[in-house]
Structure 1
Amino acid sequence: MDTTTNTEQLPTTIRAYLAAQEARDADAALALLTPAAVISDVGESFSGEDALRRFVTEAGAEFTFTTEITGVRRDGETWVVRHHLEGDFPGGTADLDYRFVLDGERIERLDIVVG
């Protein structure tokens, strides 16, 4: 498993989702998910359009932070994008792995875990 920071190797769907999430564009992010998609953020799961919309628009909104992609790799059918965050949230820094599973051209599952 090679790790790189080159996001160009990611499927277009994942790059578009990351951009939509950063922009807090819920409509664009939701359009990239399957109808049965599940997002798990450090153990809390979200499914269904309303919960997923809330997650995309509200997760981390109470904090100011920067994020940098520090690694991209493929683990079987899962694409892993490591993010380094720094900001005014508890602890001040975090490394998170965004683990994407696709179903065709859409995201079926996203697990965000401490890296």
Structure 2
Amino acid sequence: MNATELPKVITDFVTALDARETDVALGFLTDEASVTDQGKTYHGADEIRAWLVGPASEFTYTSAVTGVTMADSHHYDVLQHLEGNFPSGVVDLHYRFTLDGGKISQLVCEP
């Protein structure tokens, strides 16, 4: 599978995340969504908004999708290569998405 085959909700969310479009990104999530990043989990729109404007936007970076795996129609693993002004400057992260009803119900970001 390649990036062009990902569900639109995932590609649109990643685009909004990279562009720091908080309200747009939140629109792709279910009301009960959770995001786990750097070992901390954020639940619901208020906590995820705080993550989007805080830790998720702390650094400037470029990103490129380097791999995509689909476990089933609800679970996708998107491997992203990031380069930026964060410690180490380069990282490959798995964005593990769970979809529910056409929206993202869970995102786990991990190495």
- For normalisation by structure 2, the TM-score amounts to 0.90
CA distance in 2, matches of 1:49, 1:60: 14
**What does the per-residue CA deviation read over 1:44-92, in whole Å, with 9 as the maximum and x for residues that have no partner?**
1001221111212223433222211111111234101101111221112
Unaligned runs of 5+ in 1: none
CA distance in 2, matches of 1:108, 1:62: 23
CA distance in 1, matches of 2:55, 2:90: 16
Q: Confirm or deny: 8 A CA contact 2:20 2:57 kept in the other structure.
A: no
CA distance in 2, matches of 1:72, 1:62: 26
Q: Confirm or deny: 8 A CA contact 2:95 2:107 kept in the other structure.
A: yes
Paired positions, count = 110
Q: In the alignment, what sits opposite 1:101?
A: 98
Unaligned runs of 5+ in 2: none
Q: Confirm or deny: 8 A CA contact 1:40 1:110 kept in the other structure.
A: yes
SS, match of residue 78 in structure 2: strand
Q: In the alignment, what sits opposite 2:28?
A: 32
Q: In the alignment, what sits opposite 1:91?
A: 88
Q: In the alignment, what sits opposite 1:55?
A: 51
Q: CA RMSD in A?
A: 1.4
Which AA in structure 2 matches 1:93? V
Give the alignment partner of residue 73 of structure 1, picking from 46, 69, 72. 69
- For normalisation by structure 1, the TM-score amounts to 0.87
Task: Give the ranges of 4+ consecutive aligned residues of structure 1 lying more than 6 Å apart after TM superposition.
Answer: none
